[in-house]
Chains A and B, each alone.
Chain A
Amino acid sequence: MHALEIRNLSKSFGSLKAVDDVSFEVHEGSIFGLIGRNGAGKTTTIRMMMNIYMPDSGEVFLRGNRIGPEIKNIVGYLPEERGLYPKMKVLETLLFFAEIKGKKSKDLTKKAKDYLERFDLADRINSKIEELSKGNQQKIQFIISIFHDPEIIMLDEPFSGLDPINTNLLKEIVLENKRQGKIIILSTHLMDFAEKMCDHLAMIDHGRIILHGALSDIKSKYSPKNVSLNYEGDISFLNNHAIIDNISDFGNNTGIRIKEAGQTQELLRLLVEHNIKVKSFVTNDISLQEIFVELAGKHPAEEMNHA
């Protein structure tokens, strides 16, 4: 039995089909990535999984049981767009959001203090939210999503706007929760993070799932004939070369797809011949980004910039 099972979810808003027959499973104790461009249908899917939206059709099962409104009590949600009550104090905020999850006890204040300590916010416990910096507000928002000890943690673009130190802290806590057996769903358009953190993922584009499964399976399925290259020099001679199928340049890293599996040695020889300084040359490796480009036909990063 899967921890969460999403079966044939569809949702339209007027004439717009936001989510179209989406199905995937989330495994116990793993981090699940829901990836796709902005507007692909991630947030709508997540909202249906939390019973905020009623699906037009389809169902969501939690450990075999159809979900209802009670799922809200065991879910912790960090929405992409952050927002808190500006006039409320930090401690009040944490306790209020715990209370509407049905958590109310004396220990919560102590627990709040522990979390604030961990996020280096202990001295701000009685500050108003509006007095905190944006980064600190974001940390509060993250604490809210895990404070009531939820079984399912849904994080929508959790790392956006965080500095490297806090990003690491967040990652650490997410992994800690994973070890405790929590179901973690990470929604992001940043393929990099998804690739580093997720065990399973589903790619969504124009409301449809275009790929899903374990990250390792997906990679091994798409990686043959693919070389991940890090280099210095000019490789433009490879464009339109007979053995090359496709080149995806990501700046520091370049993904090269060759036409036949046996042509990797040939590619390496060409690079050496043209005096390219090869820093790394990994065969049978592919980035999530490349897979996405191949499937969705568009560059997610580019889309992002134009959004």
Chain B
Amino acid sequence: MPNYKTLAIIKMELHEKLMSKSFISMTIIMPVIMLGIMGMQSLIVLYQGDKGSHVEILTESDSLKAEFQNGFAELDFVKNATYRLGFDTVSRENLKGYIQNKKPELLSHKLNAIIFIPSKALEDKQMEYYSNTPGNITILEKLKDPINEVLIEQYFSTKNLSEKEIIFARKGVNFSHFKVSEKDEMQEQGLGNTIIALVLTFMIYMSLIFSGTMTMQSVQKEKSNKIVEVLLSSVSSRELMTGKIIGVTITSIAQMIIWILPVLALKSTSWFVLPGKMTIDISYGHLIYFLINFLLAVLIYQGLFATVGAIFDNHQDAQTAVMPIIMLLLIPLFIAMSMMRNPNNPLAVISSFVPFATLIVMPARFALVDMPVWQLGISILINIATLSAIFPLAGKIYSVGILRVGKKPTWNEVVRWLKYNY
């Protein structure tokens, strides 16, 4: 139970962190940065850079050329002039010469590609694509389906079929996603949960990194400033470390609650109407579990970060030494991301029961997969066990390290500290 000394330290930590301007700005700025990074990533991936592409479509017959001209006139990217399409006819024998003629334009990228659609394509759909950069799939991705549709239409037009049948033939396949769960009714599930899982995972990761680094720096500063000498003549190193970690934990939890308020709002009010594809299936139980798990995560990682801060008296050494802890956060983050494609992949399932990894992987799994509650219980037990295993060790290293100055200690020495009588 924290005594008045620990409370005084907690109060000071809260005064310094929770009541500070930087808390307010971090709480607002961090999600903005996060969304910025995620948005930027998808923007870059989606950016095709194919605006103003010039493509020529060659057929062997005028009738086929006319079909393509008609079929393509209605396409969005033609109407808004993103693509400039030219149509021409050329026989198989003259193709080589034609391309030879166009070579300067192809090389200078005034013309990006030539697509040759022989009449035989109506039987085997085999076409030819000529370009200076045939590896560029953007143009083909865009034209593939329209070309196929024209071919299908052309093919069936001689087969005496109804419009309805042709429309059917033109269609691709499409799935609706239903989640089969213990609940009686089956719900249609969209991307909503995947996005929420991704966002929550990212929030845990970012929050742990930021608060951890802050704790590490503040411990390390107290050490290099020698404030710790005065502090320890008043409080024990255990009280000091406990106060610090509790202070940071309260700050982090407050921050996390502010962050998940929008999720709560989406869930509990009808202010925002989400499109069917984006519905969120998150219960209050999810959120409570999420916060409990986050609380344990903050405690565990604060312990690690504070310990590293106490070992070193200069910033650079501490920054280097903290890398393994960052990896301990980064690897589970990647595993959690891999679940966005296949929530049941074995790596994710196993790592959701591995100490440290479970803190980040399990909440993501919980949002994506229906899992029995006992598995969450086990995860929490694993975390509590981890916490009780590392805290005595971390406390010991902290108490030795915090007053130690001089030469940078080796890991061997740090292990030896565990045997010191402090």
Contacts and interface: CB of A to CB of B under 8 A. Distances in A.
Contacts of A102: 4-5
Interface stretch (A28-36, A45-53, A229-237): A45-53
Contacts of B16: 87
B230 A144 contact: yes
Contacts of B9: 100
A54 B233 contact: no
Given A77-B230, A83-B226, A96-B12, A52 B416 contact: no
B227 A83 contact: yes
B227 A84 contact: yes
Nearest to A55: B421
Contacts of B227: 83-85
Interface string B210-245: 000000000000100111111111111000000000
B8 A99 contact: yes
Contact of B8 (A14, A84, A100): A100
B229 A100 contact: no
A213 to B, nearest CB: 27
Contacts of B421: 54, 56
B266 interface: no
B225 A50 contact: no
Of A52, A73, A77, A102, most buried by chain B (CB within 10 Å of CB) is A52
B150 to A, nearest CB: 71
Contacts of A82: 226
A141 B413 CA distance: 33
Interface in A101-154: 101-102, 141, 144, 154
A43 to B, nearest CB: 9
A244 to B, nearest CB: 42
B195 to A, nearest CB: 39
Nearest to B223: A83
Nearest to B413: A14
A94 to B, nearest CB: 12
Contact of B233 (A77, A81, A85, A99): A77
Given A13-B420, A72-B235, A96-B8, A47 B403 contact: yes
Chain A facing B: main interface SS: loop
A100 B232 CA distance: 10
Nearest to B234: A100
Nearest to A57: B421
A4 interface: no
B47 interface: no
Interface residues of B, number: 26
A281 interface: no
A299 B419 CA distance: 37
A100 B235 contact: yes
B411 interface: no
A49 to B, nearest CB: 10
B422 interface: yes
B233 A72 contact: yes
A53 B8 contact: no
Of A56, A72, A73, A100, most buried by chain B (CB within 10 Å of CB) is A100
A75 B422 contact: no
A79 interface: yes
A69 B229 contact: no
Of B12, B230, B231, B413, most buried by chain A (CB within 10 Å of CB) is B230
Given A81-B229, A85-B227, A97 B234 contact: yes
Contacts of A47: 232, 403
A77 B413 CA distance: 29
Interface string B76-105: 000000000000000000000000000000
B226 A79 contact: yes
Contacts of B229: 77, 79, 81, 83
Contact of A100 (B5, B222, B226): B5
Contacts of A51: 236
A83 B313 CA distance: 14
A69 B416 CA distance: 25
Contacts of A56: 421
A4 B243 CA distance: 31
B226 A72 contact: no
Nearest to A50: B233
Nearest to B222: A83
A168 B229 CA distance: 25
A54 B226 contact: no
Contacts of A97: 230, 234
Given A54-B421, A102-B4, A84 B234 contact: no
Contacts of A86: 225
B27 to A, nearest CB: 20
A96 B11 CA distance: 10
Interface string B1-31: 0001100110110001000000000000000
Contacts of A83: 222, 225-230
B226 A52 contact: no
Contacts of B8: 96, 99-100
A53 B404 CA distance: 12
A110 to B, nearest CB: 20
A100 B403 contact: no
Nearest to B4: A102
Contacts of A85: 225, 227
A14 B417 CA distance: 8
14 contacts: A50-B233, A51-B236, A52-B233, A72-B235, A72-B236, A77-B229, A77-B233, A81-B229, A83-B222, A83-B227, A99-B8, A100-B5, A100-B8, A102-B5
Interface of A: 13-14, 47, 50-54, 56, 69, 72-73, 75-77, 79, 81-87, 96-97, 99-102, 141, 144, 154
For the complex of A and B, list the 6 residue pairs with the smallest distance between their C-beta atoms, beginning with the closest: A83-B226, A77-B233, A79-B229, A83-B225, A81-B226, A83-B227
Interface of B: 4-5, 8-9, 11-12, 16, 222, 225-236, 403, 413, 416, 420-422
Given A51-B236, A79-B226, 11 more contacts: A52-B232, A56-B421, A69-B236, A75-B233, A77-B229, A79-B233, A83-B227, A99-B11, A100-B8, A102-B4, A144-B230
